[in-house]
């Protein structure tokens, strides 16, 4: 046996070791795609025990699988479960509601009581869909002013009791709590529960100008970078734990353009209410009482004579692409808790996880080994198998909400986290043909979704929980090569099997 035949033999053995039927009695997958994927994995030194792959054709037949039943960390691929369950349990027409209720009907321009802002988990009150992060709040204030209201004699009350009071997932890293992707969760959320920081250089040797949006009395900024005529921009920004005190230091080059970042805030409901209070004051509406949080257990007990002033509606369908195309963690967490509140009367992550499992059960999706710590996939403790994701993707095709689901995914080379044309430069046939969700946390890379070839639409899930062992191997390039093989297996045309086999030999 010559040296060049050894890797090829290893690849062939890998096919045997990693392949097994999807269900008892099911026929083994066809060998061609299975062999091609195994060769690619062997080429790049991909550890089989920490890899999960499942490819399912239109008719439900498994076309390829590698350790498909091994529970692995999915990173943001968990959002595929969260969004499917949200569509299934809430319905594609579901609407988030935020209400403003006066505990006493306005009379002579005065609310002789409190004004209660009750949150319903709306993730979309931000500048993403409106003209700035305060646009919705300004519209409310203007409507109240137009109705003749000038004074709130009582308190401005933030009612976030639609969810429980666990704002930061216990499985998340506390060291990341000021990062946008770890924003706290609340039934009252504003601007993704972040403030946007902009630093603009001033005169050489002088402090730079720092602006914060939205402007809120709940947030304070300490320090400023120094404008330096020579040095590069190096800005350090941090939020003091359990406060909304943001500290900024470092330097910014005199000729530099505006430097921008965002900081996740503490206590989103009070941040929302304090920001709205400032908007009301600018609109000429005075608050004589305090800004405070609703008391749990008493939040639903409105007195006789209470009057609904404003109801703000926001469709679920608008939030889905933000979750799956942009991979926005907060939106996924809000969906998770909303499912729990609506389906089980408990706005918690645990209740939301029950809603996901109920969805999988209804769709007859196997979920052995499933662990759901959160709705976004940020926790390293989440576990799901490639078969669970693949079977869910396939089952979703038969549901009335599938167009919303498919449309929420990134389209290769077009939008979302798969927009980069560079990623699919070597495989132009995949651009516009792959609808998928990316996922990445430490030591985890995932990609799951659909490959389209003509009228065919196959589901796939690729979960990798260890780096590749071959020096210089790229996880994105491996994923792209596997997708090219899937695309080729769906119809006429050559894939990368020849390339992979040549590399293995």
Q: Which residue has the tokens 């949080």?
A: 293
Strand bridging mode 51-56 / 62-66: antiparallel
Give the closest residue to 324 by CA, choosing from 93, 75, 83: 83
Lowest mean pLDDT among 31-40, 177-186, 293-302, 442-451: 293-302
Lowest mean pLDDT among 264-278, 281-295, 296-310, 397-411: 296-310
**How far does CA 221 lie from the centroid of its chain?**
28
Nearest-10 crossing angle of helices 475-489, 31-44: 170
Query: Region 50-63: what's the mean pLDDT?
Result: 97
Sketch the domain layout of the chain as residue ranges.
Answer: 1-72+385-391+411-505, 95-315
Peptide bond preceding 214: is omega within 30 degrees of 0, i.e. cis?
yes
Residue 248 burial (CB < 10 Å; 0-12/13-18/19+)?
buried
Please report the pLDDT score of residue 180 as a whole number.
96
pLDDT band at 25 (very low <50, low <70, confident <90, very high): low
Residue 79: active-site member: yes
Phi, psi of 222 (to 5 degrees): -115, 130
Query: Region 457-469: what's the mean pLDDT?
Result: 95
Instruction: Report helix, strand or coil for 173.
Output: coil
Neighbours of 23 (CB within 10 A): 9
Could you tell me which residue, 428 or 195, shows the higher pLDDT?
Answer: 195
Tens of pLDDT, residues 221-248: 999 999 998 878 999 999 999 999 999 9
Tens of pLDDT, residues 117-133: 999 999 999 999 999 99
Lowest mean pLDDT among 17-21, 203-207, 277-281, 445-449: 17-21
Bridge partners for 410 per DSSP: 436
The architecture of the domain spanning 95-315 is: 3-Layer(bba) Sandwich (3.50)
DSSP letter string, 487-500: HHHTSSS--SHHHH
Query: Region 52-65: what's the mean pLDDT?
Result: 97
Strand bridging mode 434-441 / 444-453: antiparallel
pLDDT band at 315 (very low <50, low <70, confident <90, very high): very high
Query: Region 424-433: what's the mean pLDDT?
Result: 88
Please report the pLDDT score of residue 91 as a whole number.
97
pLDDT band at 398 (very low <50, low <70, confident <90, very high): very high
pLDDT band at 472 (very low <50, low <70, confident <90, very high): confident
Could you tell me which residue, 48 or 409, shows the higher pLDDT?
Answer: 409
Q: Helix, strand, coil: what percent of the chain each, to 5? A: 35, 25, 40
Please report the pLDDT score of residue 3 as a whole number.
35
Which residue of the set 19, 126, 186, 327 is catalytic?
327
Query: Region 304-324: what's the mean pLDDT?
Result: 97
Could you tell me which residue, 80 or 23, shows the higher pLDDT?
Answer: 80
Which residue of the set 76, 186, 410, 461 is catalytic?
76
pLDDT band at 501 (very low <50, low <70, confident <90, very high): very low
Task: Answer for the pair 189, 117: CB distance below 8 angstroms, yes or no.
Answer: no
Please report the pLDDT score of residue 427 as a whole number.
86
Please report the pLDDT score of residue 11 as a whole number.
36
Which residue of the set 79, 126, 216, 448 is catalytic?
79
Q: Which residue has the tokens 């196959």?
A: 458
Residue 76: active-site member: yes
The pTM score is: 0.90
Tens of pLDDT, residues 190-205: 999 999 999 999 999 9
Query: Region 460-485: what's the mean pLDDT?
Result: 93
Could you tell me which residue, 259 or 421, shows the higher pLDDT?
Answer: 259
Please report the pLDDT score of residue 297 as a whole number.
79
Share of the chain above pLDDT 70, in %: 91
Peptide bond preceding 223: is omega within 30 degrees of 0, i.e. cis?
no
Please report the pLDDT score of residue 421 as a whole number.
64
């Amino acid at each position: 046996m010559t040296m060049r035949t050894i890797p090829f033999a290893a690849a062939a053995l890998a096919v045997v070791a990693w392949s097994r039927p999807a269900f008892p009695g099911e026929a083994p997958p066809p060998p061609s795609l299975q062999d091609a994927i195994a060769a690619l994995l062997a080429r790049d030194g991909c550890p089989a025990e920490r890899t999960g792959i499942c490819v399912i054709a239109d008719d439900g037949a498994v076309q390829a699988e590698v350790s498909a039943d091994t529970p692995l960390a999915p990173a943001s691929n968990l959002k595929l479960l969260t969004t499917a369950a949200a569509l299934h349990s809430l319905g594609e027409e579901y609407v988030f509601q935020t209400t403003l209720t006066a505990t006493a009907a306005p009379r002579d321009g005065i609310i002789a009581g409190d004004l209660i802002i009750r949150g319903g988990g709306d993730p979309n009150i931000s500048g993403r869909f409106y003209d700035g992060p305060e646009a919705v709040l300004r519209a409310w204030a203007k409507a109240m002013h137009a109705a003749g209201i000038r004074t709130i004699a009582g308190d401005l009350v933030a009612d976030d009791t639609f969810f429980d009071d666990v704002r930061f997932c216990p499985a998340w890293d506390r060291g990341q709590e000021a990062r946008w992707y770890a924003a706290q969760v609340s039934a009252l959320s504003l601007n993704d529960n972040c403030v946007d920081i902009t630093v603009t250089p001033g005169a050489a040797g002088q402090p730079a100008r720092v602006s914060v949006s939205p402007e809120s009395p709940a947030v304070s900024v300490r320090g400023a970078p120094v404008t330096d005529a020579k040095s590069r921009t190096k800005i350090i920004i941090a939020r003091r734990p359990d406060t909304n005190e943001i500290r900024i230091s470092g330097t910014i080059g005199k000729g530099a353009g505006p430097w921008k970042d965002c900081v996740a805030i503490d206590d989103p409901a009070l941040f929302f209410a304090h920001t709205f209070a400032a908007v009301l004051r600018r609109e000429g509406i005075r608050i004589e009482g305090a800004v405070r949080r609703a008391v749990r257990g008493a939040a639903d007990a409105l007195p006789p004579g209470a009057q609904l002033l404003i109801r703000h509606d926001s469709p679920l369908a608008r939030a889905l692409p933000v979750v799956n195309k942009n991979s926005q963690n907060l939106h996924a967490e809000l969906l998770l808790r909303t499912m729990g509140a609506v389906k089980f009367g408990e706005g918690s992550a645990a209740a939301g996880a029950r809603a996901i499992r109920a969805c999988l059960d209804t769709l007859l999706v196997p979920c052995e080994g499933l662990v759901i710590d959160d709705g976004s996939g940020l926790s390293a403790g989440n576990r799901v198998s490639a078969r669970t994701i693949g079977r869910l993707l396939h089952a979703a095709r038969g549901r009335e909400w599938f167009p919303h689901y498919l449309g929420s995914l990134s389209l290769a080379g077009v939008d979302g986290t798969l927009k980069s044309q560079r990623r699919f430069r070597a495989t132009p046939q995949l651009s516009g043909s792959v609808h998928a969700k990316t996922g990445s946390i430490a030591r985890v890379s995932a990609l799951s979704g659909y490959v389209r070839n003509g009228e065919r639409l196959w589901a796939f899930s690729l979960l990798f929980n260890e780096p590749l062992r071959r020096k210089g191997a790229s996880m994105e390039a491996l994923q792209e090569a596997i997708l090219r093989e899937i695309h080729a297996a769906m119809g006429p045309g050559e894939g990368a099997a020849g390339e992979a086999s040549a590399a293995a030999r």
